[in-house]
């Protein structure tokens, strides 16, 4: 019998509840509140965990910009990272430093967002500077000082701001070369608007994050709520949605008040923090969870899904906010920008993903598959295929340098017609080039992600459709 059937047996015949029934219902109330707070706050706590994981190793400050100078690999535990670009990520504090000027270098694909992961702006190729580089001014909440001319002005609802740059690899004799991308990213300059004397700016630091063990995942236990309470206390009241704040208040997370749950409530929070991520996995891996989620449902049916099915960058549809899509996305990913949700032919990026093979079965690490990409994948910049843990979005630790194949690697072999056959499985099939194979871990499922950078018209008009993975064992 389901739990709600137990609750429906509670008697109200005598117009009041027994102590046992009252406690049962209140426990259910607080558990449900905790579940919804966990799911609703996932974008923010996701961001807090990424910041804290980085700053624990590299330190904090507007001048600290870690760069994965040899690309990001599975030693960095962060949701759905990209091994086929060079990342730079920083965490700015407008309460500590006031308005900040960010000099973005040319030729990047980047974004700036608040700590609820509401995008402030795309930056670079699909931003207002159009890839030429430019000066962005980050303004804190409720700032009433003068704002000078000459900047792309961005008003943040939170004091904390996330800076996320990506620069592109170039082909090299031994595979993709990150040197030029690193050189580009190290042109970033950040300084306080209030300080006009460059001699007083903190010197930019660009620590190398490649090869460093980093845990940037949000908690799956009751400490999740502690991290959330700290953020709520630090940020202004109007930086978050009031209905969610009402749910938080039921648990004692209220700005201006200490968060001190007793042992019984902490036990409930622990249970919710264990169940909520599992619920998100269930929603995310159910094919019909969202309307129009699948990319290809016409005469040619495929199981690749869209992270923004008829939604904008805030996950809004025409008449509602897609709460299920938010919790599914931020379970295994981070950062959202207008360019990700829009149709930008030849610019931006798209990320078709699948959990399933051509038979509709979940992808399984002990099986072998062939993934056929039709001739000339529609990516002006490059394409890549990467495998991830479907429960938290981390890269699969498969023993290869990167759990990814990309078109910048001159070792990947194309077919005569310009198509590609890529293989996934625990063993490389006979005759398959090493560069066309991704090793999978037996007894582990995985998420398969296809990235298209600079997607061209054949992607949008459906004249180019990737196959589903087909079993070959």
Q: Tell me what pLDDT residue 4 has.
A: 74
**Given the DSSP bridges, would you call strands 470-471 and 152-155 parallel, antiparallel or unpaired?**
unpaired
Query: What pLDDT is recorded for position 2?
Result: 55
Beta-bridge partner residues of 136: 102, 152
CATH class of 18-43+218-283: mainly alpha
335-345 confidence digits (pLDDT tens): 998 888 888 88
pLDDT at 262: 98
Residues of the chain with pLDDT under 70: 1-2
Closest by CA to 216, choosing from 336, 396, 90, 56, is: 56
Q: Please report the pLDDT score of residue 1 as a whole number.
A: 40
Superfamily of domain 285-473: Domain of unknown function DUF1214, C-terminal domain (2.60.120.600)
What does the pLDDT read at residue 111?
97
How high is the pLDDT of residue 6? 81
Task: Evaluate whether the domain defined by 59-215 bears CATH number 2.60.40.1610.
Answer: yes
- Per-residue model confidence as pLDDT tens digits over 230-262: 999 999 999 989 999 999 999 999 999 999 999
Domain parsing of the chain, residue ranges: 18-43+218-283, 59-215, 285-473
Report the pLDDT value the prediction gives residue 11, as an integer from 0 to 100: 79
């Amino acid at each position: 019998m389901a739990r709600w059937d137990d609750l429906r047996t509670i008697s109200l015949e005598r117009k009041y509840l027994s102590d046992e029934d009252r406690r049962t219902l209140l426990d259910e109330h607080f558990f449900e509140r905790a579940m919804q707070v966990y799911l609703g706050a996932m974008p923010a706590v996701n961001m807090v965990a990424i910041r804290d994981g980085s700053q624990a190793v590299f330190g904090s400050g507007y001048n600290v910009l870690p760069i994965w100078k040899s690309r990001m690999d599975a030693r960095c535990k962060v949701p759905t990272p990209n091994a086929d670009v060079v990342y730079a990520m920083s965490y700015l504090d407008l309460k500590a430093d006031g308005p900040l000027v960010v000099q973005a270098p040319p030729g990047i694909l980047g974004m700036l967002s608040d700590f609820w992961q509401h995008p402030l702006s795309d930056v670079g190729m699909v931003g207002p500077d159009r890839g030429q580089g430019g000066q962005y001014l980050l303004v804190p909440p409720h700032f009433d000082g003068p704002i000078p001319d000459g900047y792309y002005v961005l008003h943040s609802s939170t004091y904390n701001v996330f800076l996320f740059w990506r620069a592109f690899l170039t082909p090299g004799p031994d595979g993709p070369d990150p040197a030029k991308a690193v050189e580009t990213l190290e042109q970033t300059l950040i300084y306080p608007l209030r300080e006009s004397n460059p001699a007083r700016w903190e010197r930019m630091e660009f620590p190398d994050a490649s090869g460093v063990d980093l845990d940037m995942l949000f908690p799956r236990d009751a400490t999740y709520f502690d991290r959330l309470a700290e953020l709520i206390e630090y940020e202004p009241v109007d930086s978050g949605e009031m209905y969610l704040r009402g749910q938080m208040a039921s648990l004692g997370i209220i700005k201006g008040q200490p968060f001190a749950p007793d042992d019984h409530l902490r036990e409930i929070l622990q249970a919710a923090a264990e169940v909520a991520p599992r619920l998100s996995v269930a929603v995310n891996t159910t094919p019909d969870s969202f309307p129009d989620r699948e990319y290809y449902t016409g005469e040619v049916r495929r199981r690749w899904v869209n992270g923004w099915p008829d939604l904008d960058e805030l996950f809004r549809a025409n008449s509602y906010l897609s709460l299920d899509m938010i919790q599914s996305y931020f379970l295994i990913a981070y950062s959202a920008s207008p360019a990700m949700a829009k149709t930008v032919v030849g610019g931006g990026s798209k990320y078709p993903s699948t959990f399933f093979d051509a038979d509709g079965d979940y992808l399984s690490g002990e099986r072998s598959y062939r993934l056929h990409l039709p001739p000339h994948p529609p990516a002006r910049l490059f394409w890549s295929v990467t495998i991830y843990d479907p429960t938290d979005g981390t890269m699969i630790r498969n023993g290869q340098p990167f759990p990814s194949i990309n078109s910048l690697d001159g070792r990947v072999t194309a077919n005569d017609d310009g198509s590609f056959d890529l293989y996934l499985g625990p063993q490389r099939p006979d005759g398959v080039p090493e560069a066309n194979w991704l090793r999978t871990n037996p007894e582990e499922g995985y998420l398969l992600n296809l990235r298209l950078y600079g997607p061209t018209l054949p992607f949008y008009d459906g004249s180019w459709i990737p196959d589903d993975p087909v079993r070959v064992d």
